[in-house]
Amino acid sequence: MFDYTIIFVFFVKLRMVFAENTTKLSEKLLNNFNLIKMTSVMNKKTIIQILAVELIRSLFIAVMILGVALVSNGKKPNPMVMNPQTLPKLHPASQMEQGPPSVSGRKAEYLYHIFIIQTASHYQIDPALIKAIIMAESGYNTKAVSKRGAKGLMQLMPETAQSLGVEDIFNPHQNITGGVQYFKQMVNRFNGDVKLALAAYNAGSRNVRNYKGIPPFKATRIYIKKVFKYYQIYKNQMGEEIDRV
């Protein structure tokens, strides 16, 4: 009978620990001495039944506590996984896509902003100027095709694109890379004169050489003015971005 009494008292105390707050626990501990007296008058069968009930309750409480602990741990953020909301907002163009997206306007301008900066900087061309050329050429329409057959963001002629190693003329990254590379060639050909380089990009370097300057073509002169207007806008915008940083 003494062994059952000890086990019984243990489970009663265990239940008190899980079920009662600190204040009630202290009160019940004062009455623990009466538990042994109570068990002395109980028969063996009654004690076993009480112990079984207490065991089930204690196991239930333990399982509940374990479950809460596991759920709480599951909600803690994994330090190895970055939360997208905490990441700085980057332009998606910093990642190369597999196929040319069918986008235009501000969406395309946003998508390829970083790539334009990287490519223009690589060829030592002002990124704001490249952005202005793209706006004047295609309005950031990745699928743009002119009446003369120029294609893509920077309106490359197929033969020019081929000579520059552009395999997919409608792929925005390849088109931008080829266009920047071609414009850099025009800048070098005309000794750094941006206006002549723009004229050559629009009307062909042969016409610039033949006229020994900007050709008297209305479309070419409008084109140059348009590029410089956009250039000033992009220059100011990028200057503001740098100031904010």
* 54 among known catalytic residues: no
Q: Is the pTM of this model over 0.85?
A: no
Task: State residue 107's pLDDT score.
Answer: 87
Check whether residue 11 and residue 43 sit in a common domain. yes
Residue 156 forms beta bridges with which residues?
Answer: 151
Q: Write out the residue range of the structural domain in which residue 16 sits.
A: 2-75
CATH number at residue 215: 1.10.530.10
Task: State residue 139's pLDDT score.
Answer: 94
Higher pLDDT, 2 or 173: 173
Domain count, the chain: 2
pLDDT in tens, 122-172: 999 999 999 999 999 999 999 999 999 999 999 999 999 999 999 999 999
Domain C-terminal end among 75, 109, 128: 75
Check whether residue 117 and residue 201 sit in a common domain. yes
Residue 84 lies in a domain: no
Residue 82 lies in a domain: no
Check whether residue 97 and residue 203 sit in a common domain. yes
SS3 of residue 81 by DSSP: coil
Helix or strand (DSSP H, E) at 209: helix 205-210
Residue 218: C-alpha distances to residues 57, 144, 202, 215, 223 (Å): 92, 22, 11, 9, 8
Average model confidence (pLDDT) across the chain:
76
Return the DSSP state at 93.
G
pLDDT in tens, 12-26: 555 554 455 444 544
Return the DSSP state at 117.
H
Q: Kindly tell me if the per-residue pLDDT of 81 is higher than 60.
A: no
Residue 157 lies in a domain: yes
Residue 49 lies in a domain: yes
Residues with Cβ within 8 Å of 144's Cβ and at least 6 positions away in sequence, in order, are: 104, 137, 138, 151, 152, 153, 155
Residue 113: C-alpha distances to residues 43, 56, 117, 202 (Å): 85, 65, 6, 23
Return the DSSP state at 215.
-
Nearest one of 191, 186, 126 to 156, comparing CA atoms: 186
Task: State residue 115's pLDDT score.
Answer: 97
- Structure tokens, 21: 């707050």
Tell me the mean pLDDT in the region 69-90. 40
Check whether residue 52 and residue 123 sit in a common domain. no
Check whether residue 236 and residue 119 sit in a common domain. yes
Check whether residue 124 and residue 214 sit in a common domain. yes
pLDDT-above-90 percentage for the chain: 51
Residue 145 forms beta bridges with which residues?
Answer: 151
Task: State residue 88's pLDDT score.
Answer: 33
Q: Which amino acid is located at 20 in the chain?
A: E
The span from the CA of 62 to the CA of 11, in Å, is: 12
The span from the CA of 187 to the CA of 13, in Å, is: 89
Buried b or exposed e, range 18-44, using 16+ CB within 10 angstroms: eeeeeeeeeeeeeeeeeeeeebeebee
Check whether residue 122 and residue 159 sit in a common domain. yes
Residue 33 lies in a domain: yes
From the candidates 54, 97, 109, 137, which is the catalytic residue?
137
